[in-house]
Amino acid sequence: MKILFIGNSHTFVHYVPLRVKTFLENNGVEAQVTMLTHPGVGLDWHLQQSQTYFNLLYGDYDAVVLQHNAHPFPGKESLVSAGVKMASLTPENTRVYLYMTWSEKNNPEGQKVMSEAYEELAKETGAGICPVGKIWWQIKEKYPDELYFADGEHSSVFGASLSASVIASTLIDKEMDIDTYYQEAKKLEETSYDQRLIDLVLKDGEFALI
C-alpha cells in the first residue's frame, strides 16, 4: 500500500506516518509512506504548493490522508472548502481519508465541532474518516497514559501512536474496540526511527524542533 500524508505538525510530530507503516507491516501489509507537511498550515496552504499537485496527480498512491489545522481549529467552512478542492485533485484510483484530529487538552468541548466538520467533509467527498479525535477522548477517559505533549496541543509519543493505530486500522478496514486501540498504541509507542530526523522537544523550557 502506497500512502501520501498531507498535513502539518500533527502528522509529522513523532512521525505518525512511520507508525502507520509499522502497524500495517505488523498486519502483513507492505507499506510505503510519503508525507508533505509544514508547521501550522492547513489544506488551503497545501493547495498553493506545486508538490501537492505533482504528488496527487503522478504519485500513484493507493491512499491519501488529509489533515487540516487543529489548534486553533478554523471551523467547518475552512476544512470543507479546502478538503473538497483537494479531493477533486485526487485520481479515482487513490482513496481519500480524513485524519480527524483532537481538540486541545483544556478544550474537550471543541472536539464535537471538529468531529462534525470532518464528518461533513466526508459526506461532501465520499472520503473515509480516521476518527482519531473521537477515539482520543475515549482513551483519555479510560487510561492514565498521557496523550498530549507538554504544550497541551501536540501529541505525546503515545498520542502519535494512538493516531497511527486509528489511521492504519481504518486504511485496512480492521475493526478494533477501545481496548485494542490502546494495546496497539502501546506497541507502536516503541517504534524507533533514524535519530537524524527532527522532532518536537522541550529544550531549556522552550518548544523546539531538533
C-alpha cell at 186: 502501546
C-alpha cell at 123: 459526506
| pTM attached to this predicted model | 0.98
Q: Could you tell me if 127 and 97 are in contact, meaning their C-beta atoms sit under 8 angstroms apart?
A: yes
User: CATH number, domain at 39?
Assistant: 3.40.50.1110
Answer positive or negative: Cα dihedral of 103, 130, 89, 16: positive
Grid coordinates 487510561 are at which residue?
143
Cβ-based neighbours of 42, under 8 Å, separated by 6 or more:
8, 68, 69, 74, 78, 79, 82
Cβ-based neighbours of 136, under 8 Å, separated by 6 or more:
102, 111, 147, 159, 162, 163
Cβ density class 103-140: b for 16+ within 10 Å, e for less:
bbeebeebbeebbebbbebbeebebbbbbbbbbbbebb
Q: What is the pLDDT of residue 94?
A: 98
C-alpha cell at 157: 509519543
Q: What is the pLDDT of residue 86?
A: 98
Grid coordinates 531538533 are at which residue?
210
pLDDT tens-digit readout, 84-131? 999 999 999 999 999 999 999 999 999 999 999 999 999 999 999 999
| Cα 63 from Cα 95, distance rounded (Å) | 5
Kindly give the parts of the chain with pLDDT less than 70: none
Q: Could you tell me if 98 and 163 are in contact, meaning their C-beta atoms sit under 8 angstroms apart?
A: no
Number of folded domains that form the chain: 1
| Cα 165 from Cα 167, distance rounded (Å) | 6
Task: State phi, psi for 153 to the nearest 5 degrees.
Answer: -130, -55
Task: Provide the residue range defining the domain that includes 199.
Answer: 2-209
Q: Is 42 left (phi over 0), alpha (psi -120 to 50) or beta?
A: beta
For residue 103, which amino acid is it?
S
Instruction: Give the percent of the chain with pLDDT over 90.
Output: 100
